[in-house]
A = this chain, B = another copy of it.
Amino acid sequence: MPTSASSRPPLDLTADSVAITQAICDVPSVSGDERALADLVVDALAGAAHLEVIRDGDTIVARTNLGRDRRVVIAGHLDTVPINGNVPTRFETIDGQRYLWGRGTVDMKAGVAVQLKLALELSDPIVDLTWMWYDHEEVSAELNGLGRVARHRPDLFAGDFAILGEPSNGRVEGGCNGNLRVELRAYGLRAHSARSWVGENAIHKLAPALERLAAYEPATVEVDGLEYREGLNAVGITGGIAGNVIPDEAMLHVNYRFAPNRTVAEAIEHVADLFPEYELTVVDEAEGARPGLDDPLAQQFVRAVGGEAKPKYGWTDVARFSALGIPAVNFGPGDPLKAHADDERVACDQILSCERALRAWLTGAA
């Protein structure tokens, strides 16, 4: 009996990258369910003599071993957020622009399609290449396939520069901001609200913290030539026991997105300095990533794909590379504002221009 994967038509990586995008979007691969797609990828690359293919769970690494001076890692995740009636994909034309519509088209199967096509095609690139397609990006960090492979086979992460195919409208977005979430707590004294003067209102004690947040002017910080815009925000607030009780505890949940010139430890110190009178509990932390655009290889890449690099604000897996000492950027087709949207859709032209730009750089034609 054929398996679910083998019953599907094989992937044709000689097709154009728009067709490949459609083909791999129509193989559902919500996080945890990447196997069928991973099987197709392995099968499609099996005949390529220039590639060493390694599989770890549903993560596939394919690399050249051409003895080049420098090695570039190019990665993309195979999984998507849950489908919401938007698979299979279809083509739509809006204002004369042709789009591929459906789950995964933006985040990030268009980027993966470009990578798969070039992985098979480029048998003689000017740098050695390590391609990585991984599982479980859209769920909790512990499950992330890239993290798992980094634990199992850290040697596969050797490289001088990394490109993550996350949607960036076909522009280079360097590094990413760090992310910190803390809970600030104020304490008081419980009392019946008919005799409030006997108590001490913990919610009222959050007033200075909210005031400071409302007045806070987030910095814009230049790192390696890119300007990172920070943000400091309340993302939650709770307090209160009953309609007739003066509350003795209140909590303010604060999110700090900080430029990658700061470490998490420095970010915590900054927040602690801003709110010295509260009990502070760190609930989430992630280092940012410097864009690493001072590296000549990176500068060459930015010039090759055209235009100016921009900072990436959201946290992405480039930070994993950064933590391993590999400068990393995001570069992929698709508008990031359409990622996870029910009307997720990618402009077909963007897929093709990303394909051309990446090919030109990797073959020395740019």
| Interface of A toward B, CB cutoff 8 Å | 177, 179, 181, 192-197, 201, 203-207, 210-211, 213-214, 218, 229, 231, 233-247, 250, 252-253, 255, 257, 283-284, 313-315
A155 to chain B, nearest CB (A): 32
In the bound complex, CA of A238 to CA of B192 (Å): 20
Instruction: Identify A214's interface contact among B194, B195, B207, CB under 8 A.
Output: B207
Given A194-B313, A257-B196, A314-B192: A237 and B234 interface contact (C-beta under 8 Å): no
Is B237 within 8 A of A240, CB to CB? yes
In the bound complex, CA of A201 to CA of B283 (Å): 20
Closest to A239 in B: B237
The residue in A243, A246, A253 that gathers the most chain B C-beta atoms within 10 A of its C-beta is A243
21 contacts between A and B (CB under 8 A): A179-B194, A192-B314, A193-B233, A195-B314, A196-B218, A196-B233, A197-B231, A204-B214, A205-B214, A207-B211, A211-B211, A234-B239, A235-B242, A235-B244, A235-B245, A236-B239, A236-B247, A237-B239, A237-B240, A237-B250, A240-B253
Given A211-B211, A243-B181, A253-B240: A231 and B196 interface contact (C-beta under 8 Å): yes
A11 to chain B, nearest CB (A): 33
Closest to A230 in B: B196
Is B177 within 8 A of A194, CB to CB? yes
Q: Collect the chain B residues with CB atoms within 8 Å of residue A234's CB.
A: 201, 203-204, 239-240, 247
In the bound complex, CA of A197 to CA of B314 (Å): 13
Is A243 within 8 A of B284, CB to CB? yes
Given A203-B210, A210-B204, A237-B203: A194 and B243 interface contact (C-beta under 8 Å): no
A162 to chain B, nearest CB (A): 20
In the bound complex, CA of A314 to CA of B305 (Å): 72
Given A213-B207, A214-B204, A257-B196: A243 and B235 interface contact (C-beta under 8 Å): yes
